[in-house]
Structure 1
């Protein structure tokens, strides 16, 4: 069911939500969070489609904020709020409100969103494109416990990582980091199988893919080794090589789907490492709302330090472990999994 409201208010939108729930015969819907999607008209459809698919795992109220900037000075002076309320099958699991802001209302989006938040439920803000420089200080970001950006959508993705590191606040995360969760899990599991010391690392992938830089930064930060970035034709990340005194551990994925893990003394193994859709990435981020300390540590390691010599042992703290320090340097499974 869809209800269109023109030149409306937050109060009328709330009334429309109640009316829609009654019309479809579900006056009470169990929703676990409010997902605020800040985007433009061009990317709104894809973002909402991904959010609807993610809502199958996380029933939520989705608020899509679209700022309609007019070129006419007269139109910019006319404040107006249009809304599209969706309930039932057209809204995924939960409810959807598409908010289109005009004029001066654009500068006060938080005043429109605040009355529509679910009471006593976490708030997550997602910027599919055009992320603010400082998400935690953004008027909408202030309302959220979790703030999700996507560095891959920036004009200069790798340079954007430096801004993310400089302006990081607990609760920030990025889908470029989420994309490498399977890689981190696989590499951590491989190192748990062999008691070897890693002396160097190389991450191969597309030159404009920030996930490659984040993976190299994570390896350098957790292992305390020199990590290099090499460029390939893709798609995405194509290979990771860990240099040890006993040989090279290689995780190679040339086609973006199936990877091969090669380790000395063991047969080659094929592992599923498919590139994931945005809906899967978003669903993973919605599973946890606490600060991601591992992401923070890797992000603040810095792209500019990649390829440098490893820090001295006394300057680099050993990775945390749940039980006792391991005799080798390897990222723990706890560090790899989110």
Structure 2
């Protein structure tokens, strides 16, 4: 069920949501959190689709804040809120509200969103592109327990990581880090299989990849060893090697969804290591709402100077 409201208010949107739920027989008690997606019109479709797919694992109310700045030929007082409500089959397992903020209203997004948050439920905020410099102090960020950015979506990902390091607050995370979960799990498991002192490491990836940067920082921070980065044709991270006295522990994925894990003294074996969708990454982040101290440590690693 879809409902469109033009030149509306948050109060009217709430009333329309209640009416839609009653007509569909869909109570809010099954929703576990509110996901606020802050984006622009160009990226709204993909972001809302990813959020809706993620909500199948975590039923939630999705509030898509779509900013529509006034164009040069428009008068400054042309400020309004348009909303599109999706409930039932059109919204996955929860509710979707598209909030289009026109003109000066974009400077007051927090006031628009606040009345629409699920009561007594956690809030996750996600900026698919163009996140503010300090997300924890942003008007939307102050409402959220978890704040998600994506350094891969900006023009200079490594500069974005440096910005995230200086402005980090507990609850911040980045999808560039989330993409590393399978890599970190396999590398940690390989060290469990072959306990050995690591003397160095190498991360191979496409140039300027923020996940490769974070992986290098994580290895340097956890193992306290120098980490070399090698530029390849990609895509994304293609190989990680940890150097030990007994030989290399190697996780190699030149292409495709299958990687090869090599441990000294044992035969190589194939492991699944696909490039995950944005929906899968968001779903993973919604599983935990506490501060990710490992991410913070890697992001602000003292070894970072050696890796830039």
TM range (shorter): over 0.9
Alpha-carbon distance, 1:280 to partner: 0.4
* Structure-1 separation of matches of 2:212 and 2:103: 40
Equivalence for 2:104: 104
C-alpha contact 1:238 1:252 (8 A) present in aligned 2? yes
How far residue 303 of structure 1 moved from its aligned partner, in angstroms, is 7.5
Asked if 1:95 is matched to 2:95, the reply is yes
Between the aligned partners of 1:27 and 1:248, the Cα distance in structure 2 is 55
Count of paired positions: 308
Measured after TM superposition, the shift of residue 301 of structure 1 is 1.2
Counterpart position of 2:122: 122
**Is the 8 Å Cα contact of residues 54 and 279 (structure 1) preserved in structure 2?**
yes
Q: What SS does structure 1 have at the residue aligned with 2:185?
A: helix
Tell me which residue corresponds to 1:288: 288
| Structure 1 CA distance for aligned equivalents of residues 179 and 33 of structure 2 | 23
Whether the 8 Å CA contact 2:217–2:307 is kept in 1: the answer is: no
Partner of 1:36: 36
1:60–1:95 contact (8 Å) kept in structure 2: yes
How many angstroms does 1:293 deviate by?
0.3
The whole-number CA distance in structure 2 between the counterparts of 1:303 and 1:46 is 36
Distance 2:303 2:196 in 1: 26
What is residue 325 of structure 1 aligned with on the other side? none
Query: In the alignment, which residue of structure 2 is the partner of 1:270?
Result: 270
Aligned counterparts of 1:182 and 1:251: Cα–Cα separation in 2: 11
The 1:28/1:172 distance shift into structure 2, 3 A limit, reads: closer
CA distance in 2, matches of 1:303, 1:225: 9
Counterpart CA distance in 1 for 2:152 and 2:256 is 17
Q: Deviation of residue 24 (structure 1)?
A: 1.4
TM-score normalised by length of structure 1: 0.89
CA contact (8 A) 1:161 1:303 kept: no
Q: Runs of 5+ in structure 1 lacking a partner? A: 309-338
Q: Secondary structure at the match of 2:96?
A: strand
Q: How does 1:211-290 map to 2 (within 5 A)?
A: 211-290=211-290
Structure 2 residue ranges without an equivalent (≥5): none
Aligned partner of residue 76 in structure 2, secondary structure:
helix
Aligned to 1:161: 161
> Any conservation in 2 of the 1:216–1:306 contact (CA below 8 Å)?
no
Partner of 1:58: 58
TM (norm. structure 2) is 0.97
* 1:279 shift after superposition: 0.4
Mapped partners of 1:252, 1:237: distance in 2: 9
Q: Is the 8 A contact 2:129 2:153 kept in 1?
A: yes
Contact kept, 8 Å, 1:151 with 1:161, in 2: the verdict is: yes
Q: For the residues of structure 2 that align with 1:16 and 1:307, how far apart are their CA atoms?
A: 52
**Residue 312 of structure 1: aligned partner:** none
Shift of 1:80: 0.5
Shift of 1:84: 0.4
Post-superposition offset of 1:190 = 0.3
Asked if structure 1 preserves the Cα contact closer than 8 Å seen for 2:250 and 2:261, the reply is yes
Query: Equivalents in 1 of 2:75, 2:129: separation in Å?
Result: 25
Q: Report what 1:141 is aligned to.
A: 141
Distance in 1 between the 2:90 and 2:161 partners? 36
1:194 corresponds in structure 2 to: 194
Structure 1, 112-121 or 21-30: larger mean CA deviation:
21-30
Q: Secondary structure at the match of 1:119?
A: coil
Alpha carbons 2:69, 2:104 under 8 Å: kept? no
